[in-house]
Amino acid sequence: MPTTCSWSASWSRCSRPNYVFLLVCRAVLGIGIGGDYPVSATIMSEYAGRQSRGRMVGLVFAMQGLGLIVGPLVASILLGSDISGNYTWRILLGLGAIPGLAVFYLRRQIHETPRFAMAGGPRRRPRPRARRRRAPRR
């Protein structure tokens, strides 16, 4: 019962207009997206061939510009509609999380890059074996 009360109290706090919640979510989203751009360029440069490597890395960074155009455009459309401002920022935050969730899922589906595999892949240390306890001698 106390857990349910705590959960419902925190949910009601999040469902009201709350600028602190918005700022925290935007910060987490920004850190995630900011960390993804260099990783995306690195993965693309390792998978692309020599002939198309520059073009593919350029396309990765061009998507940043596309997002800087599409994001405010969608925000302008939502703000111009009859949707309340309390719901508009939540919709925009949810739409901004969709590409991040897609990247999170798709990164787990790709195999290691060939260069990483040729270099030996991840080095795993063997787990120490647990010693078997012996019964005391009588």
**Which pLDDT value is given to residue 77?**
93
C-alpha 39 chain-centroid distance? 12
Give the pLDDT of residue 131: 62
pLDDT per residue over 88-115, tens digit each? 888 988 888 888 788 889 888 887 777 7
Q: Which residues contact 74 (CB under 8 A, 6 or more apart)?
A: 92, 95
List the structure tokens of 111. Answer: 């195999």
Residue 100 CA to residue 94 CA, distance in Å, equals: 10
Q: Where are the domains of the chain?
A: 15-110
Contacts of 113 (CB under 8 A, 6+ apart): 43, 46, 47
Chain length of the chain: 138
Q: Which amino acid is at 15?
A: S
DSSP 48: S
The continuous run of DSSP H or E covering 118 comes out as helix 114-118
At residue 135, the pLDDT reads: 64
**Amino acid (1-letter code) at residue 43:** I
At 119, is the secondary structure helix, strand, or coil? coil
This prediction has a pTM of 0.57
Q: What are the residue ranges in the chain where pLDDT is below 50?
A: 1-9
Q: Cα-flanking dihedrals φ and ψ of residue 76, to 5°?
A: -65, -40
For 110: left if phi > 0, alpha if psi spans -120 to 50, otherwise beta; the answer is beta
